[in-house]
Amino acid sequence: MTGSSAGALTGLVFIVITLISDRPQRKSDAGIGTFTTPTVVHFSCVLLTSAVMSAPFPSLGPVAVILGLAGAGGLFYVMLIARRHAMLKTYRPDAEDWAWNVILPFVAYALLFASAIAMHALASGALYATAAAAMLLIFIGIHNAWDVVTFLATGKVDELPDSPADAVTVKKSD
């Protein structure tokens, strides 16, 4: 169920981006790489996790390796996103942005990585932790997709400043 949800939600993000592609373009694509692409990555990780968990592996060894790599990759990716947040020039991320785009994804990927490590010793607990990480990534993705779509739909993107000096006054409305 989570895999199909992640696949459908990823498709919806692509549809929204396509629908807004005819809007005036900004000089920087930093917002896409900072806010939209991570949402697709989170949904894709859930899709991968669901596929791995439902594959008929003869043991939990390959499952642990694949999920461990996905968790470690996710942790590295979230650090890149944190760097992108800190370097944005046309928008200053607020506490909610940091929580939903950096802190909660870091927790989810750390949980996925930890569940992979614990897969052999505590299989049932590790499987619950894997499911919790996947669900957290789904909820993060839903929240962040909604946040981006409402930001774009309200036209706030057209009000972004042309110079970094004006960027401190730009705030996303809730």
Per-residue confidence in pLDDT tens, the chain, 174 aa? 665 665 666 666 666 666 666 666 554 566 777 888 898 899 899 999 999 999 999 999 999 999 999 999 999 999 999 999 999 888 888 999 999 999 999 999 999 999 999 998 999 899 999 999 999 999 998 888 888 877 777 765 544 444 443 444 444 544
The predicted pLDDT at position 36 comes to 82
118: three-class secondary structure by DSSP:
coil
* Rounded CA separation 97/95 (Å): 5
The predicted pLDDT at position 24 comes to 61
The predicted pLDDT at position 82 comes to 96
Task: For residue 35, give the DSSP letter.
Answer: I
> Rounded to 5 degrees, what angle do the CA atoms 22, 12, 95 make?
85
Which pTM does this prediction carry? 0.79
The predicted pLDDT at position 150 comes to 77
Would you state the structure tokens that stand for residue 166, as one six-digit string?
């004006």
| Per-residue CA distances from 22 to 25, 166, 174 (Å) | 8, 25, 24
The predicted pLDDT at position 72 comes to 98
In the block, residue with structure tokens 């949980």? 111
| Contact call for residues 28 and 90 (beta carbons, < 8 A) | yes
The predicted pLDDT at position 25 comes to 55
The predicted pLDDT at position 164 comes to 41
Taking the CA of residue 36 as centre, how many other CA atoms within 13 Å lie in the half-sphere pointing to its CB? 19
CB atoms within 10 A of CB 161: 14
Task: For residue 121, give the DSSP letter.
Answer: T
The predicted pLDDT at position 155 comes to 63
DSSP letters of 129-147? HHHHHHHHHHHHHHHHHHH
The predicted pLDDT at position 5 comes to 65
DSSP letters of 44-72? HHHHHHHHHHHS--SSSHHHHHHHHHHHH
| Contact call for residues 6 and 142 (beta carbons, < 8 A) | no
